[in-house]
Amino acid sequence: MASLEDGPEETEYKEVTLADIVKVLHRRKLVLGTVFLVVLLAGVGVTALTTPMYESKASIIPLAHQDIIKNWLDSRNAAELVTDDLGEPLVRALFPDRWDAERRAWDGNEPSREDAGRALKESVTVAARTTGVRGETERYLEVTVTLSDPLLARDVAAAYIESLQVLRPNLENITRQDAFDRYYDGSNEQEAQNRAEVTAKQMDYWLMLDRASTPQDPVSPNVTLNIALAVVLGLVLGVFTVFFTEWLSNYRAQNRSLDLPEGRAKKVSVAEGDDPVSGQAKRKYG
């Protein structure tokens, strides 16, 4: 802390101790408590006003053509097919701001099939992962659906897996062609076609690993995490505000102490009848 002394101006610094910090915090406890409480209430309010979101997952093990299966699940075509299957309840959940529940009608035009597909695709993620199945490491595909309605989240995840049936004819055609190339030796075309057909029809292209289930608890907002963050942020901002207020108070007090002697001298000079500018001359000739 800087101090003023008689004679040459010098600057002295006082080491700040933990006791000094505690004294400041105690002296400004009202400021600290107010800031902390405001931030905490803001965190609680934001958490309470945030719409809960639920997450449902379904996973399969692709046994053949994994890239084709993953690309289908991750496509907008699959999303549009699912919205067609689940119909208006899903579309309402995807566009809550455009659905008037009192009038039971859309505000403006009803969302198109393409709009619904794009909106659903933003709520669905498809990821390739690995797991230990049948004694060895297997790659699997996991479909994760996040919606405000837990039942819809479950139904969408299940519908995504079910939509793979649309893809099956294409997978069979690819398998049929690959099998024919293996079986054909240049002279057994009919036999090769028959064997390829049986192979394509009997092949399992995916294996169900985990079926979609109804989520019980929302994944967001995370109440515990939000409150913990609000407490930490409230303390940090509170302490910062306390020390800023303390610094500002000291700064103003220092400026007042520097201006005080000059002000008092002027008042004394005027009170004695001296000229405020040259009071000595007035006493000499008065």
Cβ contact 65:164 at 8 Å: no
Cβ contact 181:78 at 8 Å: no
- Burial (Cβ within 10 Å: 0-12, 13-18, ≥19) of residue 122: exposed
Identify the pLDDT of residue 5.
47
Strand positions, DSSP E, the chain: 54-62, 99-100, 105-106, 124-133, 136-147, 206-210
Identify the pLDDT of residue 285.
40
CATH class of segment(s) 54-220 = alpha beta
Q: Which of 172, 148, 143, 146 is nearest to 160 (CA)?
A: 143
How many Cα atoms are found within 13 Å in the side-chain-facing hemisphere of 167? 25
- Burial (Cβ within 10 Å: 0-12, 13-18, ≥19) of residue 115: middle
Domain map (residue ranges) of the chain: 18-49+225-285, 54-220
Residue 85 CA to residue 192 CA, distance in Å, equals 38
Cβ contact 72:164 at 8 Å: yes
Buried b (16+ CB within 10 A) or exposed e, 239-259: bebbeeeeeeeeeeeeeeeee
Residue 144 CA to residue 219 CA, distance in Å, equals 12
pLDDT tens digits in sequence order for the chain, 286 residues long: 444 445 445 555 678 788 888 888 888 889 999 999 999 999 999 988 888 999 999 999 999 899 999 999 999 999 999 999 999 999 999 998 888 888 888 888 889 999 999 999 999 999 998 876 555 677 899 999 999 999 999 999 999 999 999 999 999 999 999 999 999 988 888 999 999 999 999 999 999 999 999 999 999 888 899 999 999 999 999 999 999 998 988 888 888 777 655 555 445 444 444 444 444 444 444 4
Q: Three-state DSSP class for 155?
A: helix
User: What are the Cα distances from residue 121, in Å, to 74, 92, 149, 252, 282?
Assistant: 8, 15, 16, 59, 92
Tokens of 144: 């994760």
User: What are the Cα distances from residue 192, in Å, to 8, 9, 120, 171?
Assistant: 108, 105, 43, 18
